[in-house]
Chain A
Amino acid sequence: MRGLLSLAYITFVEGIRSRAIFGIFIMAILMFAASLTLTNLFMRDIVKVAADLSLATISFSGLLMVLFIGNNLLSKDIDKRTIYMVISRPISRAQYMFGKFLGLFLLIIASTIFLGIISSIPVYLAGIDYENSTVIFKWNIYLIAIIMIAMKLALIAAVTIFFTSFTSTSFISLVLTIATYIIGTSTETVRGILKMKTEGIEISPAIEAIIQGAYYIFPNLSTFDIKLQASHGLTLPEGYILWAITYWLIYTGIMVSAASIIMNRREFP
């Protein structure tokens, strides 16, 4: 267990000290600053716009971090053969995968906390500037939205870990993760359109089956997107958070466990 935790720690340290993360943070801060200016272009519900833009910034910056820093932290181990140094120690391959995930998870938590705190500044300032909003902004829903973004990013990190377990280069795992992200964010919408059954538009059963299949195989990332509720101050349906946590635990667990099984069979010539 100490091996797993120490691997998680060095993964976190390696990520937090990388130059790319500073670049992402600077970009995020500039976007938060820009959102202050942008909100002034709107005549009403400025808090809603500020909250929406801030959450989108956290989500986008976090995504860049997972895709580039997270993917690099894993693939580089195999590309540069740093994995030799880890596997030769009393750390099993399953512990290696879970340790890497835990390190990435810590990196996501730390980054989301940092970005979340900074993001609250434009939202707070927008609230002072425009008090007569028709929207009742709720900080607790805003906080839940940030936690949901962190969960989404951790799920994408688990998907990256899964792809890294069998791909030979960082580029392939990056492409596969991006593809999964695109599918994962759109299946819910596509499935919704499919259910509407617009008159005069025939959808072949094969396409219907593919969309249904994709919905169950790929992660449903829209589960973790509650920007709409957060910016409008809407209350979440009862049991929604519990459902999201359960879904996150199951999907993430399956991804990291599958990665461990694949890694256990893999050779490093």
Chain B
Amino acid sequence: MAIIEMDSLTKVYKKEFTRKKVCALNDLSLKIKEGEVFGFLGPNGAGKSTTIKMLIDLIRPTSGHLSIAGRKVSDMSVKRLIGYLPENPYFYDHLSAKELLKFGGRSCDMDSALIKSRSDSLLDQLELTEAMKRPLRSYSKGMVQRAGLALALIHDPQILILDEPMSGLDPMGRIKVFNLILKLKGEGKTIFFSSHILHDIERLCDRAAMLINGRLSRLVDVQKELSKEDTLEAIFMEEVGKSEGIRE
């Protein structure tokens, strides 16, 4: 059963002064199954973040339909199902990670005892326990990224939408986040994430969509289609080559 459905999703931006139209996403249709780990990859400016922002209701589609668990993405009940990590997250400077997670839990109507136990467990898994009382402005980029991930997970959401979850992380941080995603996959969570790191997508995802110039270029069944010769990198390069050939 599809938990996330996108049907002919199109997003056209108008430039601020010239009002010139720019098509960021063109006729994207995708169905993501419950419990699936779905990778979203493409070059910069391909429309990955635009799609993710539409799933979070930060921007609205110009045309097409979008639903999560059969409901509109603007529905508050849908937001309780989602944990979202933006690309390069930025949080309140003077709050600590502990206070941030408290806010996250309270906004989802969790009781104090549950917030505390979930916070302690997540901060421990993401190695932020020692820094949990420090203001977030004193955190390194990787620590902010991990705090963002903890916030996305505090209410134990069914669906995780992660925009470049590995960006800004050092090798150790990447391993930790990788293992956490793997653990969440084991728990049956639906994970939709964008990444430039093809190797991570190969190792984590059930399926992956390649987005080039705002269009769905190819849908890959990672577990079935890939072999030693047919790597995700080779397929990706082939798709990019095709799109460049078309443009020429």
A and B from one complex? yes
- Chain A residues with a Cβ under 8 A of chain B: 2-3, 5-7, 9-10, 13-14, 17-18, 80-82, 84-85, 87-92, 267-269
User: What are the residues of chain B within 8 A of A91 when measuring CB–CB?
Assistant: 79, 107
Which listed residue, B76, B92, B99, B151, touches A90 by the CB 8 Å rule?
B76
| B89 and A84 contact, CB distance less than 8 A | yes
Specify which chain A residues have a CB less than 8 angstroms from the CB of B103 in the assembled complex: 6-7, 9-10
Q: B94 and A18: CB pair below 8 A?
A: yes
- Asked whether any CB of chain A lies closer than 8 Å to the CB of B40, the reply is no
Cβ contact within 8 Å between B90 and A82: yes
A69 to B141: give the CA distance in the assembly, Å.
Answer: 25
CB < 8 Å neighbour of B99 from A10, A87, A267: A10
Closest 7 CB pairs of A and B: A17-B94, A88-B84, A6-B106, A3-B107, A90-B79, A89-B107, A267-B59
Given contacts A84-B89, A87-B56, A88-B79, contact A13 B107 (CB under 8 A): no
Establish whether residues A13 and B79, one from each chain, have CB atoms under 8 Å apart when the complex forms: no
Q: B109 on the interface (CB 8 Å rule)? A: yes
| Interfacial chain B residues near A3, Cβ < 8 Å | 106-108
Number of contacts between A and B (CB, 8 Å)? 79
A85 to B163, CA, bound (A): 12
| Total number of B residues with any Cβ neighbor in A under 8 Å | 33
Known interface pairs A90-B107, A269-B13. Does A14 touch B92 (Cβ–Cβ under 8 Å)? Answer: yes
Residues of B within 8 A of A268 (CB): 53, 58-59
Listed A/B pairs (14) with beta-carbon separation below 8 Å: A2-B107, A3-B107, A6-B106, A9-B103, A10-B95, A17-B94, A85-B90, A85-B91, A85-B148, A87-B57, A90-B77, A268-B53, A269-B13, A269-B53
Chain B residues with Cβ below 8 Å from A84 are 56, 58, 84, 86, 89
A6-B103, A82-B92, A269-B53 as given contacts; A87 in contact with B108, CB under 8 Å: no
Nearest CB on B from A242, distance (A) = 36
Which of B13, B86, B90, B108 has the most CB atoms of chain A within a 10 A radius of its CB? B90
B80 beta carbon closer than 8 Å to chain A: yes
Q: Which residue from B50, B99, B107, B109 sits with its C-beta under 8 Å from A7? A: B107
For window 14-61 of B, CB contacts with A under 8 Å fall at 50, 53, 56-60
Chain B residues with CB below 8 A from A18, complex form = 94
Q: Does B93 contact A (CB under 8 A)?
A: yes
A7 vs B151: C-alpha distance when bound (angstroms)? 14
Bound: A18/B135 CA distance, A: 11
A88 & B56 in contact (Cβ 8 Å cutoff): yes
Q: Does B165 contact A (CB under 8 A)?
A: no
Additional A-B contacts beyond A17-B135, A88-B82 (13; CB < 8 A): A6-B107, A9-B103, A10-B92, A10-B99, A17-B94, A18-B94, A82-B90, A88-B58, A89-B107, A90-B80, A268-B59, A269-B50, A269-B53
Counting CB contacts under 8 A, is B104 at the interface? Answer: yes
